[in-house]
Amino acid sequence: MSSPSTFTTTVHPFPSPTAHACAYEIGPQNAKNSLVFVGGLGDGPHTVPYTRSIAKRLEEDPNLSYSVFEFRLKSSYSAFGFARLVDDVADITALVKYLRSIGKERVILMGHSTGCQDCLEYTAPAHGTAPVDGYILQAPVCDRDAIALEMGYDQLDESVKAAKELIDMGRSHERMALTKLPEFMRDTPISAWRWYALVAADGEDNYFSPDLRDEVAASYWKRIDKPLLILFSGNDEFVSNSLDKEGLVNRWRQFCNSGIASELSGTIPGATHKVEDPAAEDWLCNLHDYAFDGITHQLFHPHGSDSLRNQQDEDIMKEVAFDDSLQNRLIEYYNPPLHKVIGQALSIFAKPRQTPLADELILSAAQKTDPAQFTLLSRMQDKVYNMSHLDIAAECLDHTAAGVDTTGDGLCFLMWTLSQPCSFYAQRRLQEELRANPDVSFDKLPYLDAVVLEGLRLFPPIPMSLPRYVPRHGRTIDGFYIPERTIVSSQAFSAHRIDQTVFPQPNLFKPERWFQEQGALDRKRLFFAFANGGRGCIGKHLALAEMKLLLRDVYSRFTTFPDDSMTDEDMEMSDQLISSRPQGKKCLLRFEQIDKNIHG
């Protein structure tokens, strides 16, 4: 999880049964509507970080006009051991009335963990609560089952028996013996009555046990008369792995009155109990490491790099790939007089690239006499080619430089796109194909192929114009005569977008377009990511294999999400004259392991 950062909140003192009550508003103070967050056991204001993420997302759409409120309940923090759900309901009612008094039009209750029990308790007619406009239940776990994961049911039932004995003796407010509690709760005083309510099969807090009889569970859910969203966490650490979370949510939805439970209810894949973010990794660097290792493997295995695991080899990769001097060097090559004028100024911002580490790696590898037979080095060492050691090394260096940025950046843009909400359906469909065909070769998977083609169409790693001389006698192109030796060019970025009869909605990521029979020949003709003809990319098949192998291995096991710190501007294509890379020079993605079942 990312480090805590400062944030701004507006404090609202309000009258409540709990003394000195305050609510903390995150988001625009002039918002018309309110999302009231109710935390779980041990929670209080600001203990669940995702409330700030929700407030940020809501603020991005001013048409929604929502702010988020957190507040202190009688049961907040360590006080839950002597408070009841009815106490929480009284505090929530007081806040809802206050929000209405300051002009809030809509009030939504969002419960997290035991806060979900508060939301269901709030619907009990006996309480006479202030009306709200909807409910969200996130991580509605059964406390009894969650604590049993720590104690085991036998020990748990012994503690329930001990609590019942104290209650029957009129000592319900007496603190439970520490030996009767799980270790993680022993720092909190808990009364016999509260413990029984939490963990007894017939305790008043037991709203979410999968073992509740249908008629009992239905009586709770049918009380809800406002829109409801139920969100289970796919990797909730307080839920048994054997629990069918999706089935339980569907059961609860069926108990609700018609039209109440949202169809969006279900499981959040990979989410923990508090939907905490795993550490994001910078996949821009990782993918370039992968491409560097792949090309050096093909060139001179077993003497290639291992930059994914070896820092020294990664330093070599960065020397080859992460360089800002290309503009300087191209101007020097194509226009020496201009370079003499501005070259010194350019060098302040883009120092000419020096690659001593890469030179050493390749010069050393080129001298090896035992490369694998499939390598380019083995082929070039054949006497029939009569290549010198320096010629071989120069050829290998060219291939290395050509094979890192292209594959690395292409994968980077593609994985970023697959991780976006608008493309999540494509990630899901890709996962389904991969998991349904674990033994099928990577080049026999049609949707994987379509995803790669669409990624290369939308984000060609070399979007620049590729210059060519017009052949002898000239050519007529689209009615225009072009004399011989004229330099003409085409660029993949334009070829993949300009004819919208071939690529309709060209700026959208739509892998399905590659399955349409109509226009298939034109799509193939205009697909220019590797150029075409005798001067086309000789590494095309290696690049496609590398991309498909990595995507297969990732998306058969993981779901990817963009890190919250990333912006759209970070991933704008930055023109490097020949290649392109993300403007922000980073691509932070979060990886979450796929559940046994992929939920839609």
- Binding site for heme, by residue number, is 537
Q: Binding site residues, as ranges?
A: 537
Distance of CA 394 to the CA centre of its chain: 40
Query: How far is Cα 105 from Cα 317, in angstroms, rounded to an integer?
Result: 57
**CA nearest 271: which of 149, 112, 145, 417?**
112
For 171-175, the CB contacts below 8 A with 24+ separation are: 173/82, 175/81
Query: How far is Cα 283 from Cα 553, in angstroms, rounded to an integer?
Result: 15
CB 137 within 8 A of CB 228: yes
**CA nearest 407: which of 529, 546, 502, 297?**
546
Burial of 424 from C-beta contacts in 10 A (0-12 / 13-18 / 19+): middle
> Residue 106 has which token pair?
């809509």
Query: How far is Cα 451 from Cα 436, in angstroms, rounded to an integer?
Result: 17
Query: How far is Cα 55 from Cα 25, in angstroms, rounded to an integer?
Result: 9
> Residue 461 has which token pair?
């790693």
Query: How far is Cα 503 from Cα 210, in angstroms, rounded to an integer?
Result: 50
113: CB partners within 8 A, 6+ apart: 39, 40, 41, 43, 138, 139, 140, 141, 238, 273
